[in-house]
Amino acid sequence: MNDEAEKLESPLPRHVAVIMDGNGRWATQHGLPRVAGHRAGVKSARLIVEACAEAQVETLTLFAFSSENWQRPVDEVNALMRLFIEVLQREVATLHKNDVRLRFIGARENLPTILQKRIEDAEHATAANQRMTLVLAVAFGGRWDIVQAARRIAAKVRAGEIDVQDIDDAVVARHLSLAGLGDPDLLIRTGGEKRVSNFLLWDLAYSEIQFSDTLWPDFDRSDLDDAFAFFGSRQRRFGRVGIPKEASVD
C-alpha cells in the first residue's frame, strides 16, 4: 500500500486544535518586520481551514492570541488587533458561503471595542452554519478558562442551582469555553517548540500531540497530511490497556 492510500484510510480527528507558532521567526528569517510574519500566517490559516473542511473535520480550534501575548511590544499588539479586524472584515463572508460557523473563545472584554463588535457580528452571521465549526482563541489562556469556569460554578452553587457534591468532570466541562464541541482529538504545534503554552489545559488531557518543526507561515497541506497520518498511527487508550494492532477479535 502506498503512502497516499495509507493516509486516506487512516482515521481522521473530529476536532483539531492548532498552536500557530513561528510567525515572528519566519519574518526574521526573511528580513521582514514581525507583523509581516503574522500576515503570512493568515494565509496558512485560510489554507488549513479549507483543508480541514474538505476532510470533514467537525471542529478546528486555532490559537490566535494568548493571555500572555498582551506582554508583547505595544506596536506588535496593536498591529495584531488591526489585523484581526481586517481579517474578520475580509473572511467572514467566505466562511459563511462555505457553511463554516465561527466561534470565539477568550476574554473578549479585553479586546478593542471595534474588534468585540466584529466578533459578535461574525458569530451571529455564521451561527446556523453546519459544515464545520472554526474556533478562534483570542486573548485566551487555559488557566483563565479554568478560573472562569470555577467562578461560574461557584456562582451557581451560591444560588442553589448546583450542589457541591454534584460537581464532577462533566459539570466543569460544561462551563469551559469549548463546551459542546468536544475535546480536541489532535493538537498540532508548529514552529518546533514542544510545549502547550497555556492552551486548553483541561481539554487536551487525552489529545494526541504532534510537534511540527515547520514555521506556521510555511505550514501547508502536506504538513497537515503528515499530522493526520501521525494521528492515524496512534492507539488512543484514554488510560485503558491497549490492544496490540496485530491482535484479532473473533
Q: Determine the Cα–Cα distance for residues 102 and 35; give it in Å rounded to an integer.
A: 24
Annotated catalytic residue within 2, 3, 21, 203: 21
Whether residue 47 contacts residue 220, with contact meaning beta carbons closer than 8 Å, is answered with: yes
Q: In which band, very low, low, confident or very high, does the pLDDT at 39 lie, cut at 50, 70 and 90?
A: very high
**pLDDT of res. 2:** 47
Q: Is residue 158 part of a domain?
A: no
Q: Is residue 148 part of a domain?
A: no
203 flagged as catalytic:
no
Range of the domain at 119: 13-141+181-233
Q: Is residue 1 part of a domain?
A: no
Mean pLDDT of the chain: 92
Q: Is residue 93 part of a domain?
A: yes
**pTM, two decimal places:** 0.90
Segment 1-7 shows an average pLDDT of 44
Q: Is residue 250 part of a domain?
A: no
Q: What's the total number of domains in the chain?
A: 1
Annotated catalytic residue within 2, 3, 23, 69: 69
69 flagged as catalytic:
yes
Segment 163-172 shows an average pLDDT of 97
**pLDDT of res. 238:** 61
**pLDDT of res. 250:** 36
Q: Is residue 49 part of a domain?
A: yes
pLDDT digit string (tens) for 55-78?
999 999 999 999 999 999 999 999
Q: Is residue 85 part of a domain?
A: yes
Q: Is residue 108 part of a domain?
A: yes
Looking at per-residue confidence, does 181 or 245 come out higher? 181
pLDDT digit string (tens) for 169-218?
999 999 999 999 999 999 999 999 999 999 999 999 999 999 999 999 99
Cell of 21: 507558532
CA angle 15, 12, 10 (to 5 degrees): 165
CATH assignment at residue 219: 3.40.1180.10
